[in-house]
Amino acid sequence: MINIKEIIDSVTSGDRRAIARTITYIENDYPEADRIMGALFPYTGKAYRVGITGPPGAGKSTLTTRLTRFYRNEGKTVGIIAVDPTSPFTGGALLGDRVRMTDSVLDEGVYIRSMATRGSLGGLSRKTYEAADILDAAGIDMIFIETVGVGQSELDIAQTADTTVVVLVPESGDSIQAMKAGLMEIADFFVLNKADREGADQAVMSIQVILQLKAASNGWSPEIIQTVAQEGKGVDGVAELISRHREFGLKTGQLKIRRQNRLMERIKELVDLRLHVDLWSPERLEILERFAPDVIERVKTPYDAAVAIIEHYRRARVRAGSY
């Protein structure tokens, strides 16, 4: 049996096993998940969340590892949530990640978690968000959320961060790709990693051109910085930009607005989810099935069916006396 009070006590005291277990509850859609998250909510809001996104192989994990070291040296605790179906931190095939993460894995001040991406695409952004909430409630100072910037779900996740960093590499056309993939829209700043490679300066220049065309909205102009994450070069500069963006957000109130918008999204999701479950009861599914043969024969329209189902739901609610 799940004892909620015990979970809250152990998570908020930073118990690593409790953190792991609670994230698993979220991942596996445990019925108690909402109650647990509700009880943890008052303890959240202190951590700073940084999204690290970009194409596969750009060096996101390497950069995250380096940044982790940087913040550990400052005495901060760090959480890493990796949402990357192509390179899970666990799962044998990608030993590389694990090796590079080793020094962090051994450090009690660092918590690393991969989110299962298979079969949970719809809820992935919510689950990642809640996993970050759990780390936040556990008292972790800096939370990095690594995602591969390929799909909408990953972009959604990146947008739940307080600061979103997009990592690119010098390979030709990468900046154009980034624009197409919607990364330009979400970046608070860019990192051109693998600056040890050919074409780094050119890539930076072409991205700068694009950035200049984009008028600075709300007083913050995204810039681009070069790194060689593998050697730790430029990593201090990235940390410096993160902290500048944070200061900017605090000073202008935009951080609060961003967090507020995020919470509004969260509430809407909760409402949608609950209404959805409530509405699609067996009796409404029955109406749906009853309509189907008439709809396929063009006797009724899908719109008739939708109206009938909503009408049925409304009447049931009235009867239940809840309106």
Q: Which is nearer to Mg ion, 60 or 127 (CB)?
A: 60
List of residues 6+ apart from 68 with CB closer than 8 A: 78, 80, 104, 110, 144
Interaction partner, residue 120 (ligand GDP, Mg ion, none; CB < 5-8 Å by kind): none
User: Residue 121 is which amino acid?
Assistant: L
Map the footprint of ligand GDP across residues 82-101, applying CB under 6 A: 87, 97
Using CA atoms, how far apart are residues 148 and 141, in angstroms rounded to an integer? 23
**Distance of closest approach, residue 60 Cβ to ligand GDP, in angstroms:** 3
Q: Does 170 engage in binding with ligand GDP (CB under 6 A)?
A: no
Q: Is the dihedral of CA 107, 230, 240, 145 positive or negative?
A: negative
Map the footprint of ligand GDP across residues 204-263, applying CB under 6 A: 228-230
Q: Smallest Cα–Cα separation from 51: which of 135, 143, 114, 113? A: 143
Q: Which is nearer to Mg ion, 47 or 63 (CB)?
A: 63
**Distance of closest approach, residue 7 Cβ to ligand GDP, in angstroms:** 31
Q: Which of 23, 58, 157, 309 binds ligand GDP (CB under 6 A)?
A: 58
H/E run at residue 148: strand 142-148
Q: Which is nearer to Mg ion, 60 or 126 (CB)?
A: 60
Q: Which is nearer to ligand GDP, 89 or 291 (CB)?
A: 89
Q: Does 60 engage in binding with ligand GDP (CB under 6 A)?
A: yes
Using CA atoms, how far apart are residues 145 and 116, in angstroms rounded to an integer? 14
Q: Which of 194, 204, 225, 309 binds ligand GDP (CB under 6 A)?
A: 194
Tokens coding 186? 């979400």
Residue 48 bridge partners (DSSP): 142
Using CA atoms, how far apart are residues 46 and 127, in angstroms rounded to an integer? 19
Q: Does 56 engage in binding with ligand GDP (CB under 6 A)?
A: yes
List of residues 6+ apart from 51 with CB closer than 8 A: 144, 145, 147, 157, 158, 159, 160, 161, 163, 164, 165, 186
Please give the residue ranges that form the binding site for Mg ion (CB under 5 A). Answer: 60-61, 87
**Distance of closest approach, residue 53 Cβ to ligand GDP, in angstroms:** 9
Residue ranges in the chain assigned as alpha helix (H): 4-12, 16-27, 33-40, 60-73, 95-105, 124-137, 152-158, 174-180, 183-186, 200-213, 235-252, 254-279, 282-296, 302-319
**Distance of closest approach, residue 153 Cβ to Mg ion, in angstroms:** 16
**Distance of closest approach, residue 154 Cβ to Mg ion, in angstroms:** 12
**Distance of closest approach, residue 101 Cβ to ligand GDP, in angstroms:** 10
How does strand 110-114 pair with strand 189-192? unpaired
Using CA atoms, how far apart are residues 286 and 307, in angstroms rounded to an integer? 14
**Distance of closest approach, residue 209 Cβ to ligand GDP, in angstroms:** 23
Tokens coding 107? 């450090």
Q: Which stretch binds ligand GDP (CB under 6 A): 28-36, 56-64, 67-75, 135-143?
A: 56-64
Q: Does 104 engage in binding with ligand GDP (CB under 6 A)?
A: no
Q: Which stretch binds ligand GDP (CB under 6 A): 10-18, 59-67, 150-158, 241-249?
A: 59-67
Q: Which of 8, 40, 47, 59 binds ligand GDP (CB under 6 A)?
A: 59
How does strand 142-148 pair with strand 48-54? parallel
Q: Does 149 engage in binding with ligand GDP (CB under 6 A)?
A: no
DSSP category for residue 192: E
**Using CB under 6 A as the criterion, which residues of the chain lie in contact with ligand GDP when the complex forms?**
56-62, 87, 97, 193-194, 196-197, 228-230
